[in-house]
Amino acid sequence: MTVRIYALNCGVLEFERRSFFPESERGLAMRVPVPAFLVTHPKGKVLFDTGIHAEGFSDPVAHFGAALAAYFKFHCAAGEGIVAQLRLLGLEPGDITHVVNSHFHFDHCGCNGLFTRAEFFVQGAEMRAARVLRDADGRPRDWDQPLDYRLLEGEHDLFGDGKLVIVPTPGHTAGHQSLRVEAGSGMRLCLTGDACYTQEHLERDLLPSTGAVFNADDMRHSLGLLRRMRDREGLTLVYGHDATQLQKLRSAPEAFA
Ligand SMILES: [Zn+2]
Ligand SMILES: [Zn+2]
């Protein structure tokens, strides 16, 4: 059994285009896909992110509060969402052994609570910052459940064989991380998460609007790290919310690498 990667379709978010591209005029909307990824390895079934909570689609005001629900529109078609997508592969949440959360925004950890048998890998900096935000307003958070969290302080080779390596890419949030993967197909890639939303952000060295940036210097540095992976090491970057790229990748139940 070799390392394979599957793109899971976890719905669509709609919001002001300026949030991604600050130079856009006010009032223009854009829609982006919300992906999660399954990486199968001989020693485990690993999820990179868990998408949006089911109640976030059915009742966003109840789940996220009025402010966030006013800013985003949430779309989830039949067959989309992490559970339905895993089912395409003949898997249940209980089959997942490891979850790597890129970060704790609602579209990346929404279904964490379903994976009660998995070990979770998060940067300590992300957990500490997320607790501060939670304590500031007291709202429940999708990540905040009695799960088996392992807090990392830097890079981490998940199975000790270099096939799946968690790499810190802070800036979008305090402890954002990406996942480098060497697939059995020979393809080497990096799942960037929101360290880079789209290829255009990489090409233009463009940061999103300030509301989506925790630390601009760190985020620019992480963007540079990803660019070097691509240009010097030949890795394929799989961006966090790039509709054009995701349309081209084979989707589950087929592996794309
Ligand atoms: Zn994010
Ligand atoms: Zn996101």
Residue type at position 234:
G
Distance 135 CA to ligand 2 centre (A): 22
Query: Do 173 and 218 touch, CB atoms closer than 8 A?
Result: no
Mean pLDDT, range 150-170, rounded to an integer: 98
pLDDT for 157: 98
What is the rounded end-to-end Cα distance, in angstroms, of the chain? 13
Give the integer Cα–Cα distance in Å for 99 and 87. 17
Distance 73 CA to ligand 1 centre (A): 16
pLDDT for 216: 98
pLDDT for 62: 97
Distance 1 CA to ligand 2 centre (A): 31
The ligand whose atoms approach the alpha carbon of 177 most closely is 1
Digit-coded pLDDT (tens) for 182-231 = 999 999 999 999 999 999 999 999 999 999 999 999 999 999 999 999 99
* pTM to 2 decimal places: 0.97
Digit-coded pLDDT (tens) for 104-135 = 999 999 999 999 999 999 999 999 999 999 99
The pLDDT mean for the chain works out to 97
For tokens 């005029």, the residue is 25
Percent pLDDT > 90 in the chain is 99
- Position 1 confidence tier, pLDDT thresholds 50, 70, 90: confident
Distance 107 CA to ligand 2 centre (A): 5
